[in-house]
Amino acid sequence: MLDAPRRVRGAFDVHSLIGGVRVRREFLLACARHAARHIRRGAGEINFILVGDKDMSRLHKKYLGSARTTDVLAFDLTDNRRNPIDGDIYICVDQARRQARAYGVPLYEETARLAVHGVLHLAGFRDDTEAQRARMHDLEDRSLDAVRRGL
């Protein structure tokens, strides 16, 4: 069981390395801030970088050894383990678009879900097993639902 979530004090921002992407920036950031309550040390500066398949494949190969694209990669950039977590979260918009179509949801919702997923990784959550994936998916749903309800 998790301890009570902490307040988020960090600075969150969205950057796009591809043109023509239409995401609901404020919705994405609100969902990410909600999920950041699970970061025990607190959130520092977290950047969400929107990329295409080519850039994501390059990052995935360089850091995880797989040349295929993936939907999200999270990098903890914190210089001291006592400080709030700083990180960069790369979201592949091409993959998010494919997933949004497959799940029957709008692109803005899928990109927000991926932002939350990345934040949860920075908080220490893993998705190696089915039980871990189910837990992360539940937390993703909670963040998106809370923002939709205006909490």
Determine contact, residues 72/65, Cβ cutoff 8 Å: no
Domain carrying residue 94: 11-148
In a domain, 30, yes or no: yes
pTM of the model: 0.90
In a domain, 95, yes or no: yes
- Looking at the 3D structure of the chain, how many domains does it have? 1
Burial of residue 13 (number of CB atoms within 10 Å: 0-12, 13-18, 19+): exposed
For the stretch 85-125, pLDDT in tens is 999 999 999 999 999 999 999 999 999 999 999 999 999 99
Q: Which two tokens stand for residue 27?
A: 């919705």
For the stretch 27-82, pLDDT in tens is 999 999 999 999 988 899 999 999 999 999 999 999 999 989 999 999 999 988 78
Which CATH number is 133's domain given?
Answer: 3.40.390.30
Give all strands of the β-sheet with 43-51 in edge-to-edge order. 11-16, 43-51, 85-92, 72-76
In a domain, 132, yes or no: yes
